[in-house]
Amino acid sequence: MTTDTAPALGGRRAALPRLVSDYGVYAAVLVLLAYNAVFTPYFLDAGNLRTQLVQAAPIVIVALGMALVIGSEGIDLSVGSVMALAAAVIPLYLGFGMWPAVLMALLAGIAAGLFNGTLVAVVGLQPIVATLALLVAGRGLALVFAGGQLKQLHNPELLALGDGELAGVPVIVLAAAGLTLATAILVGRTTYGRQLVAVGGNRPAAVLAGLPVRRILITAYVLCGLFAAVAGVFATARLTASDPSAIGNLAELSAITAVVVGGTPLTGGRVRVLGTVAGAMLMQLVRATLIKHDLPDSAAQMAQAAIILVAVYVARERRTR
Amino acid sequence: MSDPATILDARGVTKRFPGVLALDHVDLTLTPGRVHALVGENGAGKSTLIKILSGAYHADSGEIVHAGRPVSFARPLDARAAGISTIYQEVNLIPLMSVARNLFLGREPRRLGLIDLRRMNREAAAVLDRYGVHVDVTRPLGTIGLGARQMVALARAVAEDARLLIMDEPTSSLEPREVETLFTVVESLTAKGMAVLYVSHRLEELYRLCETVTVLRDGRVVHTGPLAELDRLTLVAHMLGRELDQVRQEGTTRFGEHRDHTGNPPVMEARGLTKRHVLRGVGLTVRAGEVTGLGGLLGAGRSETAKAVVGALPLDSGTVTVGGRRLRRLSPATAIRAGMALLPEDRKAEGIVPDLSVRENILLAALPRLSRFGFVSRRRQERIVATFTKRLRIKAASPEQKVGELSGGNQQKVLLARWLCLNPRLLLLDEPTRGIDVGAKAEVQALIDELAADGLAVVLISSDLEELVEGADRIVVLRAGAVVAELDGDDVGEHAVMAALAEAEPREEDDRDD
Amino acid sequence: MITDSVAVPTTVRPGRATRAERLASLSQRHGALTMLALALIAASVTFESFATAENLAGIAIQSSFVAVIALGMTFVIIGGGIDLSVGAVFALAGVLAAFGSRWGPVTALLLPLGAGALIGLVQGVLIARTGMAPFIVTLAGLLAARGLMLALTTEGAETPLVPRGSGFLGLGRGVFLGLGVPVWIAIVLCGLGAVLLRRTRYGQFLFAVGGNEDAAGLMGVPVTRVKVVTYALSGLLAALAGMLNAARLGSGVTILGVGMELDVIAAVVIGGTLLVGGAGAVGGTVCGVLILGVIQNVVNQIGTLTSSVQSVVSGAFLVVAVVAQTYLSRAGRAR
């Protein structure tokens, strides 16, 4: 039985949830900004805005990689541990200079992604289980590398990644912006990006169209691992220390939240790059707003829980068309 | 005022889906102790009718009188409670649970509040023994054969005091011997007064088991009555909607004249395509400029043959040769590289990527060929898309519109464009005109002709007999996963195809060979 | 022909498939037990101090809290879901128990258990009624429970203490026949859980829902109710573990339970419960918990190793267990 014509149903009735799901996150960011501009003293201060951006940047970077994986109908729980792994690798090679150390950290991220991707695409494990293993083991491995200790870092080049500026803009913010642009181009313009979305949107169709599904999936996890490693490097530079037990803690939750709130459906087939950035900014603003108004971290966590539920609930409405 | 001898009487049942009238005033009467056949081709409305009777759907109008009272089932559970049990093609049991636990789920024998495992297993073994199933009832259901699983489902239905059993294609994946057992059980159940509605496309089985038949086509009852009075050919004619004495000479399709291409070298040769329960040594040769039709009733293995050729169905054995070179490691990617393309039957599940645009859907398979360093020039993309949008007359607001928002006909054209822009040598079309409107249908048919005239080899699968006969230069008829006839030249005709479909099935060997 | 005379050998297919099948079911049933036995033997041979009553009792008490949570998680995963909130509920329950103990042991018991069951209930209703993914709902539950716990303790700065001499402490610190009370509670609960799973109608329904939700619905299983009950049970058990832990420590420690859900899921999966749902056993979960407990203990015994090695080894065990499971179940299903 073929019953066509579903689009007619979509019509006006579905328009509202769809709008909320697609643009709600931008509206929410604007509302929060407007609210703070009026009620929070010094909020629009350049210094404060800068702080907000710097704090959100690592999560933005991790969330971009996460968005790719979620777009492929997967999930990567290991990003926080991969951040820690990257942080732990840096001091091991810092003797050779900053670039070799950063390179090795990124390689660690790529290796982690390769591991995850192979388990998902070749062995055929569920993404949650496959990446759970590295979530558990990754941080342990990082602590083993680091000898379980926090290491102060003094390499000036590396530290410049954390507090340096280029034309008045913090390097880390520039990096996040650059990666956002790169991801947007990757997803929107390249062959790979479109294939990724096709695999997430309709796997059987992608197989029939002859797409190299395994390679596409593995690449998504590798990119996610790479992005997490980049975030780990920046987090380390900002902390001026390699602290694998703290860096990237619960980053997977923040990243998934940012992606989901940004309107990328967990069922795959869509990657919303700008939405993801807005999602990360929204969570950052919520936290900042609550803190500025002397509401504690606990309230921020509960607010985060509510926002996740609302975002997924609205997206679910749209899916049932 | 219903006849006390009927268990279920459906009158004027009508069901409309957006854009489709699935059932149009359907009447059906079922009697205790009788097996009633329900037949019809794809899209005839069989599954919709079953779902309404079993409570999964709700009829828009019409009434169902069950045991003398009008009923309306809100959920499948209500139908069960009323004694109507449905056994679906894919048996609806829990594969990971043991056979006994499946049989007794929800009615487990208990002692002191706890399930009495020993008694449950003993009783399960005893019950199944009566159905000719001798298995270890503590094994997970998923590890026993499909025939035995059917029996467990049957036994469960009987244990739930079912008065009416609806069986949907119960034999499609059974071994011949398992089919025998099933029939014996069904016969003994009807002897005890059970009413059975038996849905199948296997004529052999229908004549063996059923006393009466209802034929559905396009949502309407086209025939109902005793089966014995109906010869096979007439039954097939009813199913396909062709009247025997008036097979038209001049068709209404947009296909041109038949042509003879036996001189052309074969583009693709498939040999001995075999997959357990699905294909039994299918061979197929396709020549350039020729439209080869694949005929057969539902479940004959037409779609599976097409999928096997392009490597989308893992085979037990068989070879595919394209342009004289045998393909090693069949996969969709190698098939595409060899110049083959399959337009799948299920447009939604295997064809379109609904959230991507028309442009991206058209270029999905071609992207790797077009890209340079991973990028594809937007202008080049737009040029190709514009060419095909125009050639196939795809109606979309813009190339950037999401494919999910288009009508069925336009979605189908987008998929055709996806394959045509690869410039293939062989195009396999599985039900290319099903579920699309009349205008688009004529356009697609004209296009098939045009493509063949340009030298493309085409394999056409269609349940629309007229389309098949007029569109194809040659027809290969399949039944039960094997080629039973090849019609060439003047032999290509509706009558010949129907005769091939209606022929008695060759008595097959039990193929439990491993 | 009459029915009784039909003797059809319906299925049993001798040869390769059956052996693979048997191996698969054997390894799924006893794989975790074998791994545990090997780990115990290896540890006893290598370390003299391992196989002492004192050390083993220590492992038992360490594992008892995880085991209680893992019991609930086993139920949730068999039902085809997942519960990420258990670590946060564990911590919250500890704080609530310590708070409640000011008004006596009864409040110390009821307050955390009530809160845990309520959180589980709400999650279950959201999952069963709205069709949102369990992963997301319980992720929100994790954040909400942790937020609530922080709010109760002035952002984690306060550690509520159980009053000295409170009878409540006996629940955590008491010893009976050489084993701590929490161990006995865990043993009894796991026994009850196994019976619940294999010998009651609810258990059958749970397996059915996890194995094939649609079919279960058609077979008359009250799917919504089964799910809600299961998540409530998981919340209740996580709260019980948190309460016992508070009774043992004498305070509601706020930093506990972070990442605990992952250890618990790992233990359940190592124990042979399929993450896709529909199959699993309490016995396997107990083995999984003990394997992780032994690893932790051994790592602690090797003084030179940091405790982080423990998570590396656990992660490796997890990968091996899951990959083996996948291949074996594929071999078992191959026909």
> Domain-by-domain residue ranges, chain C?
52-334
A96 domain-assigned: yes
Chain B interface disruption, residue of A12, A190, A191, A266, most B CBs within 10 A: A191
A264 domain-assigned: yes
Q: Which residues fall within 8 angstroms of residue A283, CB to CB, at 6 or more apart?
A: A56, A59, A254, A257, A258, A261, A304, A307
Nearest-5° Cα angle at A257, A254 to A263: 145
Half-sphere exposure of B111 (CA within 13 A, CB side): 5
Encode B483-500 in three state secondary structure.
EEEEEEHHHCCHHHHHHH
Residue owning tokens 């909130």: C85
Query: Structure pTM?
Result: 0.83
DSSP A37-66: HHHSTTTT-HHHHHHHHHHHHHHHHHHHHH
Distance (Å) from the alpha carbon of B75 to chain C's nearest alpha carbon: 9
| Record: contact C315-A140, CB cut-off 8 A | yes
Chain C interface disruption, residue of A120, A145, A254, A301, most C CBs within 10 A: A301
Are B134 and B51 found together in one domain? yes
pLDDT at position B44, please? 81
- The answer on pLDDT for B38 being more than 90 is yes
Check the CA dihedral C291-C293-C294-C296 and report its sign: positive
How long a stretch of residues is chain C? 335
B514 domain-assigned: no
Paired strand residues for B16: B21
Encode C219-282 in three state secondary structure.
CCCCHHHHHHHHHHHHHHHHHHHHHHHHHHHCECCCCCCCCHHHHHHHHHHHCCCCCCCCCCCH
Which among B22, B336, B353 has CB closest to A198? B353
Domains identified in chain A, total number? 1
Domain with residue A297: its CATH number is: 1.10.3470
Structure tokens at B173: 């994946």
ipTM for the complex shown = 0.81
In whole angstroms, give the CA distance from residue C201 to residue B109. 10
Residue of B nearest to A269 (CA): B355
Look up residue C193 and give its amino acid. G
A17 domain-assigned: no
| Record: contact A198-B342, CB cut-off 8 A | no
In whole angstroms, give the CA distance from residue A163 to residue A54. 9
Distance (Å) from the alpha carbon of A24 to chain C's nearest alpha carbon: 19
Chain A residues whose CB is inside 8 A of the B333 CB are 210-212
Domain with residue B432: its CATH number is: 3.40.50.300
CA distances from A199 to A209, B351, B377 (A): 10, 12, 22
pLDDT at position C204, please? 94
User: What are the residue ranges in chain A where pLDDT is below 70?
Assistant: 1-17, 316-321
Paired strand residues for B69: B66
Check the CA dihedral A85-A87-A93-A97 and report its sign: positive
Structure tokens at A315: 């997206």
Chain B residues whose CB is inside 8 A of the A6 CB are 18, 404
pLDDT in tens, B306-324: 999 999 988 999 999 998 8
Residue of A nearest to B17 (CA): A3
Residue owning tokens 């068709």: B251
Parallel, antiparallel, or unpaired for β B20-30 and B195-199?
unpaired
More confident site: A262 or B255: A262
Q: Could you tell me which CATH number the domain at C52-334 has?
A: 1.10.3470
pLDDT at position C19, please? 57
How long a stretch of residues is chain B? 514
pLDDT at position B174, please? 77
User: What are the residue ranges in chain C where pLDDT is below 70?
Assistant: 1-29, 303-307, 329-335
pLDDT at position C309, please? 79
Which among B114, B178, B185 has CB closest to C195? B114
C268, C254, C29: which is closest to C148 by C-alpha? C254
Question: What 8-state DSSP symbol labels residue A155?
Answer: -
B174, B207, B246, B104: which is closest to B502 by C-alpha? B207
In whole angstroms, give the CA distance from residue B278 to residue A204. 20
| Record: contact B92-C4, CB cut-off 8 A | no
Helices (H), chain C: 16-46, 53-78, 86-100, 105-130, 134-152, 170-173, 181-199, 201-211, 213-218, 223-249, 260-270, 282-301, 308-333
Structure tokens at A203: 């796997």
Which among C150, C309, C313 has CB closest to A296? C150
The reply to whether C14 touches chain B by the CB within 8 Å rule is no
Are B367 and A191 contacting, i.e. CB atoms less than 8 angstroms apart?
yes
Which among B77, B133, B180 has CB closest to C220? B77
Are B143 and B224 found together in one domain? yes
Are B345 and B323 found together in one domain? yes
Question: What 8-state DSSP symbol labels residue B373?
Answer: T
Q: What is the CA radius of gyration of chain C?
A: 21
B33 domain-assigned: yes
Q: Which residues of A7-31 are buried (b: 16+ CB within 10 A; e: fewer)?
A: beeeeeeeeebbebbbebbbebbee
- The answer on pLDDT for B289 being more than 80 is yes
pLDDT at position C12, please? 36
pLDDT in tens, B202-243: 888 889 899 999 999 888 999 999 998 888 888 888 887 766
Which among B97, B113, B147 has CB closest to C207? B97
pLDDT at position C304, please? 63
Longest dimension (CA), chain B: 80
Are B285 and B408 found together in one domain? yes
A11 domain-assigned: no
Distance (Å) from the alpha carbon of C204 to chain A's nearest alpha carbon: 25
H or E element that contains C80: none
In whole angstroms, give the CA distance from residue B343 to residue B60. 34
Domain boundaries, position B335: 266-502
In whole angstroms, give the CA distance from residue B245 to residue B495. 9
Domains identified in chain B, total number? 2
In whole angstroms, give the CA distance from residue B371 to residue A260. 31
In whole angstroms, give the CA distance from residue C134 to residue C140. 10
Domain boundaries, position A100: 57-320
Q: Which residues fall within 8 angstroms of residue B208, CB to CB, at 6 or more apart?
A: B183
Q: What confidence category does residue B255 fall into, taking pLDDT thresholds of 50, 70 and 90? A: confident
In whole angstroms, give the CA distance from residue B280 to residue B481. 5
| Record: contact B335-A210, CB cut-off 8 A | yes
* Residues of chain B above pLDDT 90, percent: 28
Q: Which residues fall within 8 angstroms of residue A71, CB to CB, at 6 or more apart?
A: A187, A196, A197, A200, A220, A264, A268, A269, A270, A271
Average pLDDT of the residues in B257-264: 69
Distance (Å) from the alpha carbon of C3 to chain B's nearest alpha carbon: 6
Are B221 and B274 found together in one domain? no
The reply to whether A203 touches chain B by the CB within 8 Å rule is no
